[in-house]
Amino acid sequence: MLPMSATSDDSGPMARLAVVKADPDAPNAIFQRIAEGEELPQIAKAWGLPKGGFAYWFSTVHGDLYDAARKVREADLAMQMLDEAKGASSENVQVAKLRIDTLKWLMSKWDRARYGETVKIEKAVTVGVDAGLVLTMGELFVRLGKPQPRIIEHAVESMDAGLI
- Contact, 41 vs 55, CB < 8 A? yes
Asked whether residue 29 is domain-assigned, the answer is yes
- Contact, 115 vs 108, CB < 8 A? yes
Q: Which residue would you say has higher pLDDT here, 122 or 118?
A: 122
Give the span between the Cα atoms of 10 and 144, in whole angstroms.
70
Give the span between the Cα atoms of 75 and 100, in whole angstroms.
14
| Of the candidate ranges 8-17, 96-105, 145-154, the one whose mean pLDDT is the lowest | 145-154
What is the per-residue pLDDT for 133?
A: 72
Asked whether residue 85 is domain-assigned, the answer is yes
**pTM (whole model) above 0.85:** no
Residue-range definition of the domain harbouring residue 56: 4-115
- Number of domains observed in the structure of the chain: 1
155 pLDDT higher than 70: no
Give the torsion sign (CA, 55, 57, 59, 64): negative
State pLDDT tens for residues 13-46.
Answer: 999 999 999 999 999 999 999 999 999 999 999 9
Asked whether residue 145 is domain-assigned, the answer is no
